[in-house]
Amino acid sequence: MRDVRAAKAFVEKHRKRRQSNKVLHGHPSPMHWAEQDVPMDAVLRARERTNREIPKRVNLYVGTPYCLPTDPDRCGFCLFPTEIYTGQRQLDEYLGYLEREGDLFRDHFAGAELASIYFGGGTSNLYKPHQYARLMEIVGGVFDIPADIEITLEGIPQTFSHDKLAAMKQCGMNRVSMGVQQLDEELIKASGRRQRADQVFRTLESCRELDLPISVDLIFGWPNQTIEQMVRDLETVAATGVAHITHYELNVAGRTDFARNRRGDLPSQEENLEMYRAGKAVLEACGYTQVTAYDFERRDAPVPSSYLYEELFRKPFASNGSGPVGCDAWGWGYAGISFFFGTPQSPGWAFMNQVRVDEYFRCIREQRYPVMRGFHYTPADLRLHLLFQEMQGLAVDRAAYRKLLGRDVVDEHAVVWRALEEIGWVTVSDDAVRVRDDGVFYLPLIQNMLAHDRLEEMRRQRPATTTSPASVAEATEAPAHA
């Protein structure tokens, strides 16, 4: 950004446009992960070398590819790579391949300490009760699983049953994340999901009986959704006492049904902003505190909600008494996304596994890493990535940034911060840059401003890859989670 005027003009130009939800991922978007022949041996050697300088635990994501069929396809909105579930045989076969991928990586993770585990997808609660122990056994074939770490499984309301949840708990899973999206049964029909509100309440009740912490994901900005409907959903979910609610703005992109056929039914950007403001106000009034751009935690929960996997994902570096420490994020399985960050001087790689299950299987049969493409970080890209991740937590710690990266984040992006302070979206103080008020809603736009010059440079050097499905290019939530 040339100067404050140009930065403010950028905001004016883009604030009315629908934001692609870059808030869910870091820098750069996987659209720019153009390296198709990721030199995995070199990547793993670099990981070993740099982990001697900055020791890292492993924040583990384990993917499952399959989802129940819907009409429209992929729930009408989903940008994640998935394949249609046709029966139990697929899951048995998949678990065999997952185990074999573990064999390929086992030696490289020898002695590695797990920080947390997240079973995501796709739909990770399609498994039968006995298969949750099998999933844990597969992980246990590569890592020692410490007794006290957070182990989450994510799924949809209609395929959680009391028996399944009990089996998950029995084998050590200690947190559930439920993708509810909408409680309103008329609205949920737009996504083709055969999901009923009573299944949501039944799952919450089972988790309470089993003493199993659970969080709920909701989406606002749905086709034909009104603020009143959104408020009703939020109040109903809050009344259950659930400790953690994630409230995402619907990301509309790619070749999804909502992007192609329902644009006219979507709330405008101004209406989405109103929804964001109203949603935050309702949740605060119901006893929740906003902890990230989209996470809300109940203030009086008997056990504070834990979402360590996501926190570690957002903060891959930290410090302890003896210096910097960190976390590698390993995405094991179909479409898994990994970040093996090294040091600020040798920043490492991000890479993504195959997003077609037959390709994933083929690589493993041929004893090859099932990696589809990746990105080799430069120091400048690492700084942007860490900044983006930290901003999702609504504050950037200036001293920590300086200590790890040797620069002052305020000096580095002085023009952008000045413009955003004048607009009222950030405050800058001696200790932190804080995102505030509507700036939280506009975080993807802020991130675009911060990365603007670097992205221009990347576009000049190499056009973004066009070889993979748009769905992949958009999908990075690992996790939101993936």
Ligand X SMILES: C[S@@+](CC[C@H](N)C(=O)[O-])C[C@H]1O[C@@H](n2cnc3c(N)ncnc32)[C@H](O)[C@@H]1O
> Which positions lie near ligand X, rule CB under 6 A?
21, 67, 77-80, 121, 123, 154, 156, 179, 181, 217, 219, 248, 250-251, 477, 480-481
Q: Which of 51, 59, 116, 123 binds ligand SF4 (CB under 6 A)?
A: 123
Beta-sheet strand order (sheet of 426-428): 395-397, 432-435, 426-428
Residue among 160 and 417 whose Cβ is closer to ligand X:
160
DSSP bridge partners of 216: 178, 245
Give the integer Cα–Cα distance in Å for 129 and 66.
17
Q: Classify 202 as helix, strand or coil.
A: helix
User: To the nearest whole angstrom, how small is the minimum distance from the Cβ of residue 427 to ligand SF4?
Assistant: 36
Residue among 68 and 451 whose Cβ is closer to ligand SF4:
68
Q: Is residue 122 involved in binding ligand SF4 (CB under 6 A)?
A: yes
Residue among 308 and 414 whose Cβ is closer to ligand X:
308
| Structure token digits, residue 382 | 């690492």
Q: Classify 321 as helix, strand or coil.
A: coil
Give the integer Cα–Cα distance in Å for 258 and 72.
9
Q: Classify 79 as helix, strand or coil.
A: coil
Query: Contact, 149 vs 114, CB < 8 A?
Result: yes
Q: In one letter, which amino acid is 208?
A: R
Give the integer Cα–Cα distance in Å for 64 and 72.
21
DSSP bridge partners of 317: 326
Query: Contact, 337 vs 350, CB < 8 A?
Result: yes
Site string for ligand SF4, 171-210 (x = CB under 6 A): --------x-------------------------------
Residue among 122 and 331 whose Cβ is closer to ligand SF4:
122
Q: Which of 18, 74, 247, 398 binds ligand SF4 (CB under 6 A)?
A: 74
Residue 248: name its binding partner from ligand SF4, ligand X, none (Cβ under 5 to 8 Å by kind): ligand X
Give the integer Cα–Cα distance in Å for 393 and 65.
29
Q: Which of 1, 7, 11, 67 binds ligand SF4 (CB under 6 A)?
A: 67
Q: Is residue 216 involved in binding ligand SF4 (CB under 6 A)?
A: no
Q: Is residue 78 involved in binding ligand SF4 (CB under 6 A)?
A: yes
**Alpha-carbon dihedral sign for residues 110, 169, 185, 299:** negative
Residue 74: name its binding partner from ligand X, ligand SF4, none (Cβ under 5 to 8 Å by kind): ligand SF4
| Structure token digits, residue 155 | 């799924």
Q: Which residue is nearest to ligand X (CB)?
A: 179
Q: Which of 11, 46, 58, 75 binds ligand SF4 (CB under 6 A)?
A: 75
Residue 251: name its binding partner from ligand SF4, ligand X, none (Cβ under 5 to 8 Å by kind): ligand X
DSSP 8-state secondary structure symbol assigned to residue 180: E
DSSP 8-state secondary structure symbol assigned to residue 24: G
Of the candidate spans 49-57, 70-78, 314-322, 473-481, the one that interacts with ligand SF4 by CB under 6 A turns out to be 70-78
Give the integer Cα–Cα distance in Å for 93 and 318.
39
Residue 477: name its binding partner from ligand X, ligand SF4, none (Cβ under 5 to 8 Å by kind): ligand X
Residues that bind ligand SF4 (CB under 6 A): 67, 74-75, 78, 80, 82, 121-123, 156, 179
